[in-house]
Structure 1
């Protein structure tokens, strides 16, 4: 914004430009940075010298769009739908989007009551395959619910599959979620998620770069992903094939210096192949929300230590455990044989055997000693458990 520009003129200019310039257009972003939104809008609307960086054909297309743009009408339609327009420099603008440089959104259309800037400060993206497996949907719901319960905002794209599961997980936990759409926020897409996106707008936020009524295209889905990556502290990819759009989000997160996080799946699953490729590169492996928060959270937000179950035999003294392990599994043995197996003296072995008998691990059979049924299970689990 130039110093002489009226804020109302700046608002109208940016709304106008969202109808003319495609999301992520770095040439258009450079024009706005160098000349200001008001001047770029004036040149596109009124004609004159062609701005640098585009062909004559593309300039003609932009001018045609400009002639059809009606920013006041777009603002009116948005207002009637409960949608507001947030521009760079506004109090609600998330400053981390500025990391996108000339690909930064010209502004965002926002549907929902909370402050986008405040919510984005503590947010994580959860994305993945549209045609996800039951495992992928389960992991997305569980991760999102766990993040929401820890006070994190879950950001995703509102699509079928992992996206929808992530939104539902956050909502089901009574938490916060943001859907970033590749179309006008007053026209939920996909249509099958109209109810879900409406619920997100009522309990959270629905945002997008495109003006009211605008439709999605394949390129807009791809470019939308950079907003998801820039808005959040990290991107978690739950399930993704090699050519999945969610990998675009992950790579954008990497370029922006955000955390790139992957949830492992079965080695035989094609829908996890893209995630595993990320994990082989620079992504961090996680298995639950606590792992994610340890990465993206503040100092001290640590995941618990991961340990297997404590077995009763783990509570024995080391010497007693060695004697117990030295007993044959299915027959009685003399004390001297057990002592050799435990690599200790016969006297020490006998003392340990009486201790183990008192605890129910062994029983006396004449001159020999044998494992009880309880001990056989314990020793088997200790030797072969996984």
Structure 2
């Protein structure tokens, strides 16, 4: 982990082929295993990587890393450990070599039902509100929120989950003992108390732009699906969305004002039909949940008193004038129904308070008048 860059697929391929012990030996001696050197691989590329890895390995101190991690309250897990999320294996040779975890929650268990909530750092008040609602709504129904701990959408989603007194998973692009951004120091502390901080960087490693982009694949891989709340056309959140699509995970986007540049990335995903439009936590759970068990309730408009009227009664009501009065025969002609049906409907409408009887006939009740 000290020798290779995070997410280095060349190191991943070498590890899968040789195992950890022989990989370290190959780095230290600068000699590729005979089986790998003759299987048609790009030997020159591997040789260059071996020289780079050896320079880093010479100054690495694994025992010191483990001690620093223990002192910071972090633990190291590797593939095959009980807490290792097996869905990370879908990353292939780009799978993390190991993960440093800091917090009380079990990572594997927390990610069994999880949703990644991502978006812009420079979020609008609309985006922050929506992300918070998603954080609360997902957590209250037993779903874990996964995000990157950044300002804006990430932080709002984490806070929403923590407010619901549920665990949240924070995936960092630096060491698990490094608070970046520093303004989220208290948020990370609370996340450790209720959830877990995740990093594939050893303790003390600072963030870089490259690590942020590589980190995004973990956010997408740990969760069943990703929802982009707000994102500009150039946004790290769209990088996470790209990883979700590559992993064949569900991808959703929240629409925003068409005039907002911070929603342009979401609208692009929707227009290109790469993402599903969601507007609530329930709709996101419907997308990623179990078929038949996690369906979102159907949305309907308000039910009005007129909705329960039969077709003929509704036609009679439409024939009653808002001003002036009209007799039953004229109502029957205007409504296109027979007189007996009209008389029955008039009695029902009067009893329900839709119309009033006057000396000159029938007219609409004042409360039933259509809006101007």
1:46 deviation in Å? 4.3
Moved more, 364-373 or 269-278: 364-373
The reply on whether 1:116 has 2:99 as its aligned counterpart is: no
Q: How many residues align?
A: 362
Q: Which residue of structure 2 aligns with residue 359 of structure 1? A: 352
- What is residue 211 of structure 2 aligned with on the other side? 220
Match of 1:79 in 2: 70
> What displacement does 1:342 show?
2.0
Of residues 231, 242, 248, the one that matches 1:257 is: 248
Give deviations 1:122-162, integer Å, cap 9, x for gaps: 11101111111111111111111111011111100000000
SS where residue 19 of structure 1 aligns?
coil
Worse-matched range after superposition: 315-324 or 49-58: 49-58
Task: Tell me if the contact between 1:152 and 1:176 (Cα under 8 Å) persists in the aligned partners.
Answer: no
Within the candidate set 171, 178, 187, 1:187 is matched to 178
1:327–1:370 contact (8 Å) kept in structure 2? yes
Q: 2:279 aligns with which of 287, 292, 295?
A: 287
Question: For residues 363 and 225 of structure 1, what CA distance do their matches in structure 2 show?
Answer: 66
Taking structure 2 as the reference length, what is the TM-score of the superposition?
0.92
CA RMSD of aligned residues (A): 1.9
Contact residue 27 and residue 51 of structure 2 kept, 8 A: no
Contact 2:30 2:47 in 1 (8 A): no
Is structure 2 residue 32 aligned with structure 1 residue 41?
Answer: no
SS of match in other structure, 1:174: coil
Residue 95 of structure 1: how far off its partner (Å): 0.4
Query: Hey, what does 1:324 align to over in structure 2?
Result: 317
8 Å CA contact 2:10, 2:46 repeated in 1:
no
Distance 1:56 1:39 in 2: 15
More deviation, 218-227/277-286: 277-286
Q: Which residues of structure 1 form unaligned runs of 5+?
A: 1-17
Q: Distance in 2 between matches of 1:185 and 1:325?
A: 68
SS of 2:75 mapped into structure 1: strand
Q: Is the 8 A contact 1:27 1:53 kept in 2?
A: no
Alpha-carbon distance in structure 2 between the residues aligned to 1:64 and 1:76: 22
Change (3 A) 1:268 1:168: same
Alignment of 1:339-358 (within 5 A): 339-358=332-351
